[in-house]
Amino acid sequence: MLFGFGGLICSIGQIILNICKERGFDTATSGTIVSILLIGISAFLTGLNLFNKIGKFAGAGSLIPITGFANSIVSPAMEYKSEGYVMGVGGKMFTVAGPVLVFGISTSILVGIIYLIFNTQNVTLV
């Protein structure tokens, strides 16, 4: 079940990717378009109270693809609406997903620095 869902979501992503490539977009832009579309769809499914029904039986199949990331941002935002649009929705949006950004970005910075150290002959330092 989760295998199917994970596979399905990513296959939809692949189809979108293929369409973008056919239309002449480069790989990076195509990837960004896929992310934006899948995130948008997950956000609205969460907003319509549908995502958690999928998640109940899809488990990791909906959590691990970028759809899970989007759901983890929208769900606390919805929940804390009662505490206002600034501190509630705005402030609580990243209670579940925040660590993903913190660790992902921090790791990428470390990767960049380590790459720099091992490749100083290829790159200009500053």
Partner 1 sequence: MKKVGNQTIVFDNPPTILECASIVGPKEAKGPLAKYFDQTLDDEFWGEKTWEKAESKIIKETVSNVISKSGVPSNKIDCMFAGDLLNQCISSSFGLRELNIPFFGVFGACSTFVESMSLGAICTESFAENVLCATSSHFCSAEKQFRFPLELGNQRPPSSQWTVTGSGAAILTKSGTGPYITHITPGKIVDMGIKDGNNMGAAMAPAFADTLIAHFEDTRRNPSYYDAIISGDLGYIGKDIVIDILKSKGYNIKSNYDDCGVLIFDKNAQDTHSGGSGCACCGTVFSGYFFKQLKEKKIKKLLLIATGALMNSTTSQQGESIPGIAHAISIEV
Partner 2 sequence: MDINWANVFDWTVLLKCFVTAGIICVIGQILIDKTKLTPAKILVIFVTTGAILGGFGVYQYLVDFAGAGATVPLTGFGYNLAKGAIEAVQEMGLVGAFVGGVKAAAGGIAAAVFFGYLAALISKPKMKKQ
Q: Is 10 in the site for partner 1 (CB under 8 A)?
A: no
Our CA dihedral for 23, 11, 38, 110, rounded to 10 degrees, sits at: -90
Q: Is 63 in the site for partner 1 (CB under 8 A)?
A: yes
Binding-site residue total for partner 1 (CB under 8 A)? 22
Residue type, 74: V
* Minimal distance, residue 107 CB to partner 1, in Å: 22
Candidates 41, 39, 53, 43; CA nearest to 89 is: 43
CA atoms within 13 A on the CB side of 103: 5
Of residues 85-124, which lie at the interface with partner 1 (CB under 8 A)?
95-96
Structure token digits, residue 2? 């989760």
Taking CB under 8 A as the binding criterion, the range among 6-14, 78-86, 104-112, 118-126 that sits at the site for partner 1 is 78-86
Q: Is 65 in the site for partner 1 (CB under 8 A)?
A: no
Q: Which does 84 bind (CB under 5 to 8 A by kind): partner 2, partner 1, none?
A: none
Candidates 82, 84, 80, 105; CA nearest to 95 is: 80
| Chain residues that interact with partner 1, rule: CB under 8 A | 46, 49, 51-52, 54-56, 58-59, 62-63, 68, 71-72, 74-76, 78-79, 82, 95-96
